[in-house]
Amino acid sequence: MTHNTRFALILGVIFAVVFILSGINPHHFADWALENALTVLAIIALVATHKKFPLSKISYGCIFAFLCLHAIGSHYTYSEVPYNQWTKALFGSELNSWFGWERNHFDRLVHFLYGLLFAYPIREVFIRVANVKGFWSYFLPLDLTMSTSMIYEQIEWGAAEFFGGELGAAYLGTQGDIWDAHKDMLLASIGALITMLIIALVNAKWQRDFAQEWNHSLSVKHDKPLGEGDSQKL
């Protein structure tokens, strides 16, 4: 067993415990089940592809951290995660009072962390599968993170419309904010942008051919218009 496999297995076992605990007497069982539908699909995909396409320890760690936070949100429903009670018990005052917040912002945190934590694994996939380099190895992960965040908001809206009632409201979790989806997408985009900037700065310092690779990635590779070359490829 490789170190990578052992690390992934340890994280998998820990998350399995977290996931099971999150399913014990959740505040809204139907919402918990709905929230974790994509989680189950993601875990299946990670397990199915691990042998042929194992990710780095950093990528597995990022995914693990995000899924654990998501499990907490699904247990309480995102709009009811009692972080104010937790900070009051620890520090004697509610977190919202520190910043003058009125709504529960746990969902905002998780959307931000989706971008911050998933941008790295997405970049790894782009580099290893599509062989992207330079500018595109930073832009495409940001772009895909933003687009998947938008797609999730569409899924969330569709599910809320389909199920309606208390389940739809719990799953949507807008808390009366008509711009909730827009803010969630913005936070995910900011999180991904921060990650890509950090990686770019690290690589600019330590990668010897960083500038050359960046410039080459933006250079024209084929000077003929698409579909008008020798191959007529569209």
> Percentage of the chain with pLDDT > 90?
68
Q: Does residue 25 register a pLDDT over 90?
A: yes
DSSP secondary-structure letter at 127? I
What is the tens place of the pLDDT at every residue in 146-173?
A: 999 999 888 878 877 777 666 656 666 6
Determine the average pLDDT of the residues in 126-142.
96
Determine the average pLDDT of the residues in 106-128.
96
Cα distance between residue 67 and residue 165, in whole Å: 27
Q: Does residue 21 register a pLDDT over 70?
A: yes
Tokens for 119, please give them: 């941008």
Task: Transcribe 26-43 into DSSP letters.
Answer: -SSHHHHHHHTHHHHHHH
178/174: higher pLDDT: 178
Mean pLDDT of the chain: 90
Q: Could you tell me if 77 and 28 are in contact, meaning their C-beta atoms sit under 8 angstroms apart?
A: yes
Determine the average pLDDT of the residues in 180-205.
94
Identify the pLDDT of residue 234: 67
Q: Does residue 185 register a pLDDT over 70?
A: yes
Cα distance between residue 196 and residue 207, in whole Å: 15
Identify the pLDDT of residue 145: 96
* CA neighbor of 104 nearest in space, from 87, 76, 82: 82
Cα distance between residue 195 and residue 91, in whole Å: 30
Determine the average pLDDT of the residues in 185-210.
95
Identify the pLDDT of residue 150: 92
Identify the pLDDT of residue 172: 61
Determine the average pLDDT of the residues in 131-160.
91
What is the tens place of the pLDDT at every residue in 43-100?
A: 999 999 999 999 999 999 999 999 999 999 999 988 889 999 999 999 999 999 999 8
> What number of CA atoms fall less than 13 Å from residue 128's CA on the CB side?
12
Q: Does residue 231 register a pLDDT over 70?
A: no
Using left for φ > 0, alpha for ψ between -120 and 50, and beta otherwise, residue 189 falls in alpha
Confidence of residue 221 (pLDDT cuts 50, 70, 90): confident
Tell me the backbone φ, ψ of residue 94, rounded to 5 degrees. Answer: -80, 145
Cβ contacts of 219 within 8 Å, gap of 6 or more: none
Alpha carbon of 196 to those of 9, 91, 222: distances in Å? Answer: 27, 34, 28
Q: Could you tell me if 111 and 193 are in contact, meaning their C-beta atoms sit under 8 angstroms apart?
A: no
- 33 burial class (0-12, 13-18, 19+ CB within 10 angstroms)? middle
